[in-house]
Structure 1
Amino acid sequence: MKELELGSGFELQTIISEMVEQKRDNTIALSNNIWDCPEIYFEEHRSAAYVCKALEEEGFQIEREVAGLQTGFIGSFGAGKPIVAILGEFDALAGLSQQKGVAQHEPIAAGGHGHGCGHNLLGAGAFAAAVAIKDYMQQTGLQGTVRYYGCPAEESGSGKAYMARAGLFDDVDLALSWHPFTSPRMMNDSSLANYSVTFKFDGKSAHAAAAPHLGRSALDAVELMNVGVNYLREHMIPEARVHYAITDTGGISPNVVQPHAEVVYLIRAPKKQQVEALYERVLNVARGAALMTGTTMDVEFEGTASNLIPNTTLANAMYKHLVAVGAPAYDEFDYQFAKEIRATLSQEDIQAALGGLDRETVQALKDKDIVDVIPPLGNEGALAGSTDVGDVSWIVPTMQCMTTCWALGTPFHTWQVVSQGMMPIAHKGMLQAGKVIACTAIEAMQSPQLIEQARAEWKQRLDGDVYTSLIPEHVLPPLKGAVNA
């Protein structure tokens, strides 16, 4: 069936929007299934299985356990060039269990997991895009390959970094993705590269009163390391960030010298070389803490991410389709629930969500609980956070959009995100993202010039630098057993 042809940009968006809407129920069901079984990094066995099954039912060929990742996979349709990668995620966050559709904190299970960053939506929206591209290829005879990359462990562990190290993006021409947010925008930004490691200290237990001189406290080593890193903060670049969490204090008895203790550090800086250098300084502080306490210290790698490489060529192309697709239609139910969620937020949260928006848009949103307009494109920015999409962007021109899935002001990584994750506002933003990604991919597949221009900009930004993985050569993805569905 080849009756469809690419005409005006608006015609393409109309066609793709109809294709996505025809399968909206399947996409929403996929997103809800993933929300219902929140699984954290490298444990997304059921979530990955849901996406693989949905892709197989749409005619995609699935390659499982890619790059040694138990929950990583690639679903492919088509053959030959150009090759477009659609990046999907599906990992949850620990400790964010929450009932759906409730404007107050009500965990489903105390201490349980929850999709506090909307990756149930992200994975399903990417699925909607890949399927729409496939359907368009079938109906028009458009040549090329669309790949859905099932990327685990974005929150911690960096599945895409393992995929990148394994060369799985080396033949790709273009990579596209998206992320739920409180307003629509392009992610034409740089980001912070990061390094996440666990420092494990081992000493010797002893009676803290009778024979403290015989003990060597691992907890002392952790505390001294933290003090040393705090002094280090004055002597690193302002854009760098260093965070830590003590994950094992060695026990709960103060009359025992703790023989073992652990602390996890997340180290960030704008450039890969900067984060590597800063990590070495933190490592030396840990070595000094071990030396001062007479303990031993081991390092366990947790994850890494390279900084994002922006691409204005792709940002302009994707934004054009975002404007043409337009904002979803919201009803009274959407606005009322958003108002209830906003009542749980601080003014600081709400003001922070307006950051980066132009003055006219901020004024237009003054009395609104949902961003129901498309703001201007805006300038290239810099994210204060990190993402393993950065590793992909070093290998192939990459772009992401954001769409409105949450009430204005909703912060990332909160129970409010989880509560909204199965609500109509979230589903509308998810489908909107699928349409925008599919339109952008199809335009690129039909326009070699767009791919060439994006690649030329990508090369210029790298300025001769080449991708090298921050993952130590000896480190393999962790193996975590499957959970019975």
Structure 2
Amino acid sequence: MTTIYQFVDDEIEAKRGEFTAIADDIWDHPETRFEEHWSAERLACALEAEGFSVERNAGNIETAFVASFGSGHPVIALLGEYDALAGLNQCSGEASPEPLVKNANGHGCGHNLLGTAAFAGAVAVKNWLEQHAVQGTVRFYGCPGEEGGSGKTFMVREGLFDDVDAAVTWHPEAYAGMFSTRSLANIQVAYRFHGVAAHAANSPHLGRSALDAVTLMTTGTNFLNEHIIEKARVHYAITNGGGISPNVVQAQAEVLYLIRAPEMAQAQHIYERINKVAEGAALMTETTVNTRFEKACSSYLPNRQLENVMYEAMEALELPQWNEEELTFAKKIRATLSESDLQNSLNNIANTANDEGKAFARRHRATLLINEIAPYAANDNILPGSTDVGDVSWKVPVAQCFSPCFTVGTPLHTWQLVSQGRTSIAHKGMLYAGKVMAATALQLFINPETLKACQSELHAQLAERPYQCPIPKNVTPSLLR
């Protein structure tokens, strides 16, 4: 009997051209959070063509959708993303910063690949269920707004994962390995100050500067950084400086904060302290301040049982092999990177598996494109970043992997990553990830005891720390403006 690994390999390779075309199409139409209308529809139509039923506007989010095939339980989800980043537009396959359209969007985190690999995996699972007449449901979740929007957290809040038994996903990286660490929870909130306009020279005493309030607030929070836990992060951007006229006392100004910490309770505590800083800035300047809660996401909760299933699939499937043309391009990209870029990439690799991970990273310092799987080890390390997959992981068992899609040393959210995201390097890593997700999902259909063990692990964790969605019910998804 053909193994599931051979099956998913055959199924995905048979449609390699279709899958790479979709990934490239999405790369060609980069859209930021909750505006991914073209990308979502491209994937939704492709899923319908494969026999899935599609629910658009899922959870009352315009660019979210859920595609399903089959009936009954288990319900296994594959999570896909397709949002881009602002200001990262870049020509494909170039080793220098050359935007196609200046200051336009670009796929600087590889989400054109992320959603397409999940689509490929869902198609392979669907074909297996159909051929073997097995009860169960495979779902593709079209998840918008990961970048700064916490789309999945909104979807969790709206109950879209309530009947799911387990979920799998992945993220493009420079290597193959498990996403085996926790991540940082976060809260994003805007503070808008309202003052009084006046002539800055003739009658400044009549004005009350909202920009002064923003300046005092950012000063206060920068001092606060010394007095919060070490792994917490507080970032801000002044999104409205009050205009471009220095001879006018600014009556309006706004600053956007992103607050991160290992646990949501810690992030909420810091958020409360920052609220006090904002109130103090308003008092000092005799302005008023309004707070706009935009989004939040929980820390990622690893499921070790499911991670082992996924890692077994990674080892059973053939890794991408790199040709001379790909290695030559990777060398050109490496030449644009600093030693700090390379070291940061190696640190990220090492972070996933303790001492063995460190040895693996050291061994690949000079490697351009890795074709070896990083060792897996359950650990208590924390990824210094956030993902809205976190909230899904508190609802159902989740496993996610990394797959090699770009040159070692490439930082996320850069023009170098955009440049590589439409190349054969990225395509190979994407298809490998699709196979890994499909094989992992099929193991859960075939082995109910394995699925039960994954769920038992999550239930034990939730018994100690119950989940509460961190986004209040009255908050709606916000566009990037």
Give the TM bin, normalised by the shorter chain.
over 0.9
CA contact (8 A) 1:84 1:174 kept: yes
Corresponding residue to 2:169 among 165, 177, 183: 177
Counterparts of 1:479 and 1:431, CA distance in 2:
31
CA contact (8 A) 1:156 1:302 kept: no
CA contact (8 A) 1:68 1:476 kept: no
> What is residue 237 of structure 1 aligned with on the other side?
229
> What is residue 76 of structure 2 aligned with on the other side?
84
Counterparts of 2:424 and 2:284, CA distance in 1:
57
Task: Report the number of matched residues.
Answer: 473
CA contact (8 A) 2:194 2:252 kept: yes
CA contact (8 A) 2:232 2:261 kept: yes
Counterparts of 1:366 and 1:233, CA distance in 2:
33
Give, as a single letter, the amino acid of the residue that structure 2 aligns with 1:459.
Answer: H
Q: 1:437 and 1:263, CA in 2 relative to 1: closer, same or farther beyond 3 A?
A: same
Runs of 4+ in 1 over 6 A off after TM superposition: none
Structure 1 position 360, deviation (Å): 4.4
Counterparts of 1:406 and 1:478, CA distance in 2:
31
CA contact (8 A) 1:89 1:119 kept: yes
Verify: 1:385 aligned to 2:377, yes or no: no
> What is residue 442 of structure 2 aligned with on the other side?
442
> What is residue 34 of structure 1 aligned with on the other side?
26
> What is residue 305 of structure 1 aligned with on the other side?
297
Counterparts of 1:407 and 1:378, CA distance in 2:
24
Verify: 1:285 aligned to 2:277, yes or no: yes
CA contact (8 A) 2:182 2:299 kept: yes
Kindly report which structure 2 residues correspond to 1:178-197, keeping only aligned pairs within 5 A, or say none.
178-197=170-189
> What is residue 152 of structure 1 aligned with on the other side?
144
Secondary structure of the 2:146 match is coil
Structure 1 position 406, deviation (Å): 0.4
Structure 1 position 464, deviation (Å): 3.4
CA RMSD of aligned residues (A): 1.4
Counterparts of 1:55 and 1:480, CA distance in 2:
27
| Runs of 5+ consecutive residues of structure 1 not aligned to the other structure | none
- Residue by residue over 1:162-199, the C-alpha shift from the partner in whole angstroms, topping out at 9 and shown as x without a partner, is 11001111111101100000111111221111001111
- Residue by residue over 1:230-269, the C-alpha shift from the partner in whole angstroms, topping out at 9 and shown as x without a partner, is 1111111111100001111111221110111111100011
Verify: 1:365 aligned to 2:357, yes or no: no
CA contact (8 A) 1:248 1:261 kept: yes
> What is residue 473 of structure 1 aligned with on the other side?
473
Secondary structure of the 2:477 match is coil
Corresponding residue to 1:94 among 86, 90, 95: 86
CA contact (8 A) 2:295 2:475 kept: no
Structure 1 position 359, deviation (Å): 4.8
Structure 1 position 40, deviation (Å): 0.2
Counterparts of 1:170 and 1:385, CA distance in 2:
26
| Runs of 5+ consecutive residues of structure 2 not aligned to the other structure | 351-356
TM-score, normalised by the number of residues in structure 1:
0.95
Structure 1 position 452, deviation (Å): 1.1
CA contact (8 A) 1:121 1:426 kept: yes
> What is residue 220 of structure 2 aligned with on the other side?
228
Counterparts of 2:365 and 2:196, CA distance in 1:
60
Secondary structure of the 2:122 match is helix
Structure 1 position 141, deviation (Å): 1.4
Give, as a single letter, the amino acid of the residue that structure 2 aligns with 1:402.
Answer: F
Give, as a single letter, the amino acid of the residue that structure 2 aligns with 1:453.
Answer: A
- Residue by residue over 1:371-399, the C-alpha shift from the partner in whole angstroms, topping out at 9 and shown as x without a partner, is 11112113423111001000101100111
CA contact (8 A) 1:70 1:479 kept: no
Structure 1 position 460, deviation (Å): 2.2
